[in-house]
């Protein structure tokens, strides 16, 4: 159960009290009231930022930050392995030079066929393929 700091409205005395989460909710809604231990006056829950009653630290299996670092390292290595496997084993499709579904020998021939049928504008769509063919 968490420990809450309280302050009396009558005598201003501070105290610490353990409340369950259900009790805390009922105090916050006003269903249940807290009493001062000294004068039995009404007490309110006070915010005390300096009263840290627990510390998060890495255990034998590591804390959240340590686990995230381990997971990211694992995923990074796995990505490298899978990229190499994909490069080695996955079939890479290639475009076959064609115009209108009819295969031609090269992309240059396909561009010339397009120029005959549709003019220079239609032929210009084949320019990147012709350049890639020339660079090989």
How many other CB atoms sit within 10 Å of the CB of residue 62?
12
Token pair for 16: 């610490």
In contact, 45 and 33? CB cutoff 8 Å: no
Q: Is 80 inside any structural domain?
A: no
pLDDT at site 64: 66
Q: Is 67 inside any structural domain?
A: no
Exposure string of 112-131, with b = 16+ CB inside 10 Å and e = fewer, is ebbbeeeeeeebeebeebbe
Q: Is 10 inside any structural domain?
A: yes
Q: Is 105 inside any structural domain?
A: yes
The phi and psi torsions of 123 (rounded to 5 degrees) equal -70, -30
Q: Is 69 inside any structural domain?
A: no
Range of the domain at 114: 98-135
Q: Is 74 inside any structural domain?
A: no
Report how many domains make up the chain. 2
pLDDT digits (tens, 9 = 90+) for 5-39: 888 888 888 888 888 888 888 888 889 988 888 88
Q: Is 34 inside any structural domain?
A: yes
Q: Is 78 inside any structural domain?
A: no
Burial grade of 111 (CB within 10 A; 0-12, 13-18, 19 or more):
buried
pLDDT at site 84: 95
pLDDT at site 89: 92
Kindly give the parts of the chain with pLDDT less than 50. none
Token pair for 76: 């990074």
pLDDT at site 62: 62
For residue 85, give the DSSP letter.
Answer: H
**Residue count (the chain):** 136
């Amino acid at each position: 159960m968490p420990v809450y700091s309280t302050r009396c409205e009558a005598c201003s005395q501070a105290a610490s009290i353990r409340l369950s989460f259900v009790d805390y909710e009922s105090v916050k809604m006003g269903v249940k009231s807290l009493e001062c231990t000294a004068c039995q006056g009404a007490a309110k829950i006070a915010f005390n930022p300096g009263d840290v009653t627990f510390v998060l630290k890495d255990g034998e299996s590591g804390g959240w930050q340590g686990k995230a670092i381990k997971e990211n390292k694992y995923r990074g290595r796995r990505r490298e392995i899978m990229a190499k496997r994909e490069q080695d084993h996955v079939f890479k499709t290639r475009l076959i030079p064609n115009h209108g579904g009819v295969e031609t020998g090269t992309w240059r021939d396909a561009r010339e066929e397009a120029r005959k049928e549709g003019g220079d504008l239609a032929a210009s769509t084949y320019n990147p393929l012709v350049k890639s063919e020339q660079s090989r």
